[in-house]
Amino acid sequence: MGLNFWAMLDLRRIRGDPEGVAARLKRRNPNIDLTRLLALDEERRELQREVDEIRRRQNEGSQRVAELTRGVDPALRERILSELKGLAEQRKQLEERLAQVEAALEEELLSLPNIPHDSVPSGTKEEKVVLRVWGEPPRFSFPPQHHVALAQRLGLLDLERAARISGSRFPLYTGDGAWLELTLLWWMFGLHVRDHGYTPVLPPILANRRSFLVSGQLPKFAEELYYCPADDLFLNPTAESLLANLHNDEILEEEQLPLRYVAYTPCFRREAGSYGEEQRGLIRVHQFNKIELFWYSTPQTSYQALEELVSHAERVLQLLGLHYRVTLLPATDLAFQSAKTVDLEVWLPGQGGYYEVSSCSNCEDFQARRGNVRYRPKAGGKPQYVHTLNGSGLATSRLFAAILEQNQRPDGTVVLPKVLAELLDQEVLG
């Protein structure tokens, strides 16, 4: 896999409290079983002890042979050389088995998701906790239209031509729709740089296998990624996958933290499967644009950082005047790499429901262990793993839909939020 197995989920932590770790992981998935992992770990340690003992005996034997070259007891020298040859063969066999066990152990560790934080509730997706609600849902004197109907009438989207070019679930923004999409991205990117103090980044869109191992998309979610086999590169499903690798194999200074990055990328997700009527249009697509927020912080400040990260994503919706709610995801609905996730869900009156537009997560040291990203405490002591956090700030597809649906008028036109109207020099679409 290319990663040191010590850099996965903390193996010492699992070994020290296997029942406690298993119980917490079972909150995410009751089928998780650590039996094989613990057996492999025990075998690996026993093999390593045997290899170390043979190495010690080889060193002693080699030293004795060196002494006997001075002409003392040639028969004894030959016997020791014969023993050394046997030890070398024995060591070779043990090291081959050790390599097999380490590979299997690494595979087991890579398959384990992050341990949920204690504040994460148990339960299923339907049991998410609503933390707060902002604004009121718009009231209409007419049946609100779906964003697809509004966009097609106003010439903002052409899904038929997009399907001819690429297939289903790829958007094609046209006319004022293209301007609106680009303006949203430019405005959000600038907001996070100027008002929230993020460092701007435009990363590569393709990344190598190690990058996706570090971020947590591989090996478990390979089928959801677009892959370029000739180059062994993957298209990013989110800029988190790229930003999580900015400081691999580095030791940062505590004074540098937190590091906060904002990136723009198009994002690509295969998401194979069939979808219902409620997910048509821009609700679930294979390609979308997103502004991503990413933090590197100390463990002591990462949950305070999560609250600040959420507030930055919320600020986008507040400035756009869009009604939304904030929810805390239960353990079974967490992303593989997340220890805690807070979602922002915007109201779509055309569907009569809330849809996620941002997931803000604290991954604690899960990605940092895989990427070997540490910091040197200013108080002294050995380097520690950083905590990484990520959140959409925001993804535009559902945001685009919410702007249309929450601001529609009886004649099918759409009033633009003030911040966008000023940038586009246009108050109404249509």
Active-site positions? 269, 284, 356, 359, 398
**Cα distance between residue 392 and residue 355, in whole Å:** 14
The single residue listed with the structure tokens 């209409």 is 140
DSSP character at residue 3: S
Short-list 266, 256, 242, 204, CA closest to 390:
242
Tell me how far apart the alpha carbons of residues 170 and 161 are, in angstroms, rounded to a whole number: 10
Which of 258, 295, 260, 299 shows the shortest CA–CA distance to 386?
A: 299
Look at the alpha carbons of 276, 185, 368, 343 in this order and tell me if their dihedral is positive or negative.
negative
Pairing assessment for the beta strands 251-253 and 374-376 based on DSSP bridges: parallel
Site of tokens 């057996």: 39
Peptide bond into 237 cis (omega under 30): no
For residue 319, give the nearest of 196, 410, 409 by alpha carbon: 196
Contacts 24+ apart (CB under 8 A), 181-186: 181/289, 181/396, 181/400, 183/420, 183/423, 183/424, 184/396, 184/399, 184/400, 184/420, 185/264, 185/289, 185/291, 185/396, 186/423
Distance CA 207, CA 416 (A): 37
